[in-house]
Structure 1
Amino acid sequence: MQILRYLIAGVLMAAFAVVIMPSFFRIDTTEYAIVTQFGRPVRAITEPGLAVKLPAPIQTVIRLDKRIQVHQMEQIEFLTRDKKNILVEAYATWQVSDALQFFKSVGDTAGADIRLADILASELGVALGQHELSHLVTTDESRMQLLAMLAQVTQHIDQRTIPYGFRVTDVRLKRLNFPQANRASVFRRMRAERARIARQLRSEGAEEATKIRATATADQITILSKARREAERIRGEGEAEAIRIYAKSFGQNPEFYQFLRSLQAYDKVFTNDTTLTLPADSALLKYLHDMGQNGVPVANGQGKGDERQR
């Protein structure tokens, strides 16, 4: 009897392990789970943790990645509004938003990539056809419209993918190139644009240099004028002071002052190569009539009075 009980318990445990245990499953934080019943989706589990379902093959679990996915678009040739052929490689990032709807409409990640490839190519073609090439490739920031165009493309694609259960979060260009036949003309246009910008910058620089030079010249004239006025003022004050000193000296001893001024005149007139022919009563020779010892001229015969040696 005891053996029979053990046997029944073992059978029940085996049945639990075979039938009941597979009904429990765990959901990770990076995934959604779709429970299907005979292949038809019946519910979506979006929260991580432990979940339960009916044993297989009645119900099965399909897991979907809830993280952001990246779709790479192959290189496609488009035409801009100004009839320029360009080769574009782009990528889009997307994420499952409605797991049950996603599974019903596209099935899995591969199905979403196929659907997204068509939408991305069509929206990029429409957007590029509305813009000129100079608005997409330029050094003038005021004319650049590439980022605004990509933001608009992202919004349009996102609206079209919502019914499929996923959202597009961003669209970016990996490469924008030109067909081999068009590259020469494009490069010529780019060189012409750079040359135009260089001429404009040189012209602006020359204009600014002219303004700076004109300002510097005006400042120079003003400064020199002020300096000359100040110099004339100082010179006038110095000459006035000199005249005052001369007048004071002349008032104290007129004869000595006249003698001193004569010596100064001799110093300026007579040099080693000077030859003068003057009358004997010339005022310039007044103090040369009588010479003191060692060739010192004497004023009015005063040998020991006021004298100046040359």
Structure 2
Amino acid sequence: MSNNNFDGDLEKFVKNLFGNNKNKEKKSVQDAKIVKEKPPFNPKKYVKTAIILTAIAAVLIILLSNIYVVKENEYKIVRQFGEVVKYQDQPGLYMKIPFIQSVTTLPKNLMVYDMSEEEINTLDKKRIIIDNYAVWRVTDPKALISNARSLVNAEARMEEFIYSVLRTELGQTNYDEIINDENSGRGSLSEKITKSVNELLQKDNYGIEVVDVRIRRTDLPQENEESVYKRMISDRESIAQKYLSEGDAEKNRIEANTDRQVQEMISTAKKEAALIIAEGEAEAARIYNEAFSKDPEFYQLYRTLETYKKTIGDETVIVLPADSPYARILSGYID
């Protein structure tokens, strides 16, 4: 018995052989129909969503770009069409009007401004080069922007005022007083310059204040430096010669005064000595008189012998009569 399911049926065999391919073709056709039935992509329905998202992003960007931060060491000046409408000096977040207002930053802390070198004439007609600096700060940012327009312009005006005051003050001071720290009083000079400059700045309302002005260095121009040095040496030599002359005059005065005092002392001593001698001689004469008055003949003999001492020397020759008293005494006859 044959195991073939078709049992000799040729038609079933052919159907069974080609029936699967037909089913596959039918399935492929059905799938193709399903694909063809999907609707096409329509971008219009996404345009509205994109526009909304873009608008939201633009608003966020505008808002964020018009938020400004104020730090502790700065001012923020808000200007509208170039005019200052307000300024902020407290730290925090602030908002400005988009497209209409702009923000300018100014420092709040102390600043050091190095000034350019300037040539100035002193009271004694010496030309010197001044190199100085200024310590300053912003006190009224609104006035600064309104009158000076910018920080650079404010610094330029400050420098002009400082050099104007420097020319006036140093023009009334000698060169030696400027370079000599002990005699110049440079501290008081800096205070005068600072005060005068602040008065000028307040008068024009520039909104800044100078805290201190200091002269860093003073030099002589190259062309007259040597001549000034020679003149300074000559002045010092003149001063030294003056001191020497004054010293000599003082020495002569002291010597003359000392000599006068010595002469006065010697004269006084001689006078006192003469008085003492006179008193002694008077006393001696009194004693002699008392002694000789007791024996006049002895006194006569004594006086004669005293005259011999003065009149007779080693080579004295005396010619006397033999009977003269003088000759008798010399010969030894007393009676």
1:20 is matched with 63
2:108 is matched with 66
1:48 is matched with 91
Structure 2 residue 123 is the aligned partner of structure 1 residue 81: yes
Distance 2:192 2:124 in 1: 20
How high is the sequence identity, in percent, across the aligned residues? Answer: 30
Alpha-carbon distance, 1:113 to partner: 2.0
The answer on whether the counterparts of 1:36 and 1:42 sit within 8 Å (CA) in structure 2 is yes
1:32 is matched with 75
Cα distance change, pair 147–14 in 1 and its aligned pair in 2 (3 A): same
Give 1:266-285 correspondences, 5 Å limit: none
Out of 168, 173, 183, the position equivalent to 1:126 is 168
Give 1 or 2 for the bigger CA radius of gyration.
2
1:114 is matched with 156
Question: Structure 2 length normalisation: TM-score?
Answer: 0.52
Alpha-carbon distance, 1:171 to partner: 0.8
Alpha-carbon distance, 1:24 to partner: 1.8
Out of 214, 226, 235, the position equivalent to 1:172 is 214
Secondary structure (helix, strand or coil) at the match of 2:135 reads strand
Distance 1:189 1:137 in 2: 15
Number of aligned residue pairs:
199
Alpha-carbon distance, 1:121 to partner: 1.4
Structure 2 residue 174 is the aligned partner of structure 1 residue 159: no
Alpha-carbon distance, 1:8 to partner: 8.5
Alpha-carbon distance, 1:33 to partner: 0.6
Gaps of 5+ in 1: 208-310
Letter in 2 for 1:130: Q
Distance 1:83 1:4 in 2: 84
Distance 1:101 1:133 in 2: 39
The answer on whether the counterparts of 2:194 and 2:213 sit within 8 Å (CA) in structure 1 is yes
Alpha-carbon distance, 1:7 to partner: 6.9
Distance 1:180 1:12 in 2: 70
The answer on whether the counterparts of 2:75 and 2:87 sit within 8 Å (CA) in structure 1 is yes
Secondary structure (helix, strand or coil) at the match of 2:184 reads coil
Letter in 1 for 2:145: F
Alpha-carbon distance, 1:119 to partner: 0.9
Deviations along 1:181-209, whole A, 9 cap, x unmatched? 432343234445666579979x8xxx9xx
The answer on whether the counterparts of 1:64 and 1:108 sit within 8 Å (CA) in structure 2 is no
Alpha carbon RMSD of aligned pairs, Å? Answer: 3.1
Give 1:248-259 correspondences, 5 Å limit: none
Out of 180, 184, 187, the position equivalent to 1:144 is 184
Deviations along 1:196-246, whole A, 9 cap, x unmatched? 579979x8xxx9xxxxxxxxxxxxxxxxxxxxxxxxxxxxxxxxxxxxxxx
Question: Structure 1 length normalisation: TM-score?
Answer: 0.56
Secondary structure (helix, strand or coil) at the match of 2:179 reads coil
The answer on whether the counterparts of 1:124 and 1:153 sit within 8 Å (CA) in structure 2 is yes
Structure having the larger proportion of residues in helix: 2
Out of 135, 138, 157, the position equivalent to 1:96 is 138
